[in-house]
Amino acid sequence: MVDTGLLDALAQGLVTGSIIAAGAIGLSLVYSIAEVPNFAHGDMITVGAYFALVVNRPAEISLLPGLPGGAVSLVAAGVFALVAASVFGALYELAIFRRFRSKEADLITMVIVSLGLALVLRNLVLFVAGSRNIAYETPVVRDVNWDLYLTGSGVTVQRTQRQAGDIALLNEWGYPIWLVLGIVVAAVAVGYGVYRWRTTDDDFRTVHLVAPRVLGVLGGLATLLALAYLLRFDPQGTEAFWSTRVGTSYKDIAIVVIVAVAMFLLNLVLKATRLGKGMRATADNMDLAEVRGVDVDRIQLVVWVIAGLLTALAGVLAGWSASNVNPNMGFTLLLPVFAAVILGGIRSPYGAAAGAILIGISMDVGVYLLPSSLATYRIAIAFVVLIGVLLVKPDGLWGDV
């Protein structure tokens, strides 16, 4: 029997970090551009999750009328949640925060306002939907296990799945030792080559759509996965001196891919559009941007719309991943989200994304390494990592980039 180990914790941490990243990027944008330390962000995540629930399982919301056409799929419900949360994001800005900003409210006032908004949103969800745990209506997704055996002659990979109470072998293959070394060397070479190619003739005016280091890592990973898929040999045996199991599902893969696509699209907006230039200018110096003709009010409205969209994305993905939507889910996510934003650099959305991945991995790896009796301190692990990094880099991983 193969047991799960560190690799499984890393894989689960990547999924957890992706969900945290969706929330952390929006929080970082709101703070850096709209200058609001938004403590209502967690409850905005909850509201986004319930927007999807309203159309996915309308019968569970007793105070709302049923839909004329009945329930819709989670994909359609997610799209509805993104649109509705974006509209609510605009309302937060127009009806609340812009009014206080026009009166030149200080930072403490903005904090108190956001805390008040958080209480209103949480109690509104409790009033409308109650305190029950509810799951989205989705097709059953079965986990697939990847069993890895490191033997004297190479590596054996088995895909297994639990069916009717037993572990069924779906397929298996292997890689000789020489091939494993060759694939790793090729992946490293491609990654380094991509990095060197993208940094050739760089100067201070160069703005990369995707950072060369990130592109190099992605190129190396793509090479590794492509060669591992194409160059599959016969199994190398299961008499292993080291073995482990990594559990995945299409749900986990979909969550990581969806968040990655959302991050890329936001990166595209920030670096390749006139709107993005205005957002970056406003984040750098709001007064100077306004003098240069940037419509600061419009920029801040757009930021709140984007933040609302990202909170809905985080809420829906968190509810889908945990098969559980409840009024406290956003507050539970708020602490890791704040930790990720501070860890990455509080004014950097890119740092927030990197910090979120690091926080997610740290939480799940920490739970794996610590005794089971300490699993309840999962979120505390995030803050231990945060403090450790800030002692070395007080500005966070990315600073203000």
Give the pLDDT score at 210. 79
Residue 150: pLDDT above 70?
Answer: yes
Distance CA(382)–CA(246), nearest Å, equals 23
Note the Cα 145 to chain centre separation in Å: 23
Beta carbons within 8 Å of 134's beta carbon, 6+ residues apart = 53, 57, 60, 324, 325, 326
Q: What is the pLDDT of residue 119?
A: 93
Distances (CA, A) of 177 to 152, 154, 181, 243: 8, 4, 6, 15
Mean pLDDT of 273-289: 87
Q: How far apart are CA 145 and CA 330, in angstroms?
A: 30
Residue 373 pLDDT: 75
Least confident piece of the model among 31-40, 57-66, 124-133, 237-246: 57-66
Specify whether the CB–CB gap between 230 and 183 falls below 8 A. Answer: no
Instruction: Report whether pLDDT(256) > 90.
Output: yes
Q: How far apart are the first and last CA of the chain?
A: 47
Consecutive H or E run containing 40: none
pLDDT of amino acid 202:
65
Closest CA to 92 of 22, 25, 30: 30
Per-residue pLDDT at 285: 84
**Residue 60: pLDDT band with limits 50, 70, 90:** confident
pLDDT at 1: 65
Query: What pLDDT sits at residue 222?
Result: 94
Evaluate if residue 401 carries a pLDDT over 60: no
The winner for highest mean pLDDT among 20-24, 143-147, 202-206, 365-369 is: 20-24
Q: Tell me which of 316 and 72 has the higher pLDDT.
A: 316
Torsion from C-alpha of 214, 305, 108, 394, nearest 10 degrees: 0
Q: List the structure tokens of 105.
A: 């409210």
Q: In the chain, pLDDT over 90 holds for what percent of residues?
A: 50
Tell me which of 26-30, 61-65, 192-196 is least confident: 61-65
- Average of pLDDT values for 337-356? 86
Predicted pLDDT of residue 395: 74
Give backbone dihedrals phi and psi of 160, rounded to 5 degrees, phi first.
-130, 165
pLDDT at 141 over 80: no
Quote the pLDDT of residue 92: 92
pLDDT for 139 beyond 90: no
- pLDDT, tens digit, for every residue of 348-361? 788 888 899 999 99
Give the residue carrying structure tokens 């240069």.
292
- Please report the pLDDT score of residue 385 as a whole number: 82
Q: Compute φ and ψ for 135, nearest 5 degrees.
A: -105, 150
Token pair, residue 274, equals 């006139």
DSSP structure string for 44-73: HHHHHHHHHHHHHSGGG-TTSPPPTT----
Instruction: Read off the pLDDT of each residue in 51-62 and give the average, rounded to a whole number.
Output: 86
Each residue's pLDDT tens digit, 315-324:
999 999 998 9
Q: What is the pLDDT of residues 178-211, one digit of tens each?
A: 999 999 999 999 999 999 888 876 665 666 777 8
Q: What is the pLDDT of residue 47?
A: 95
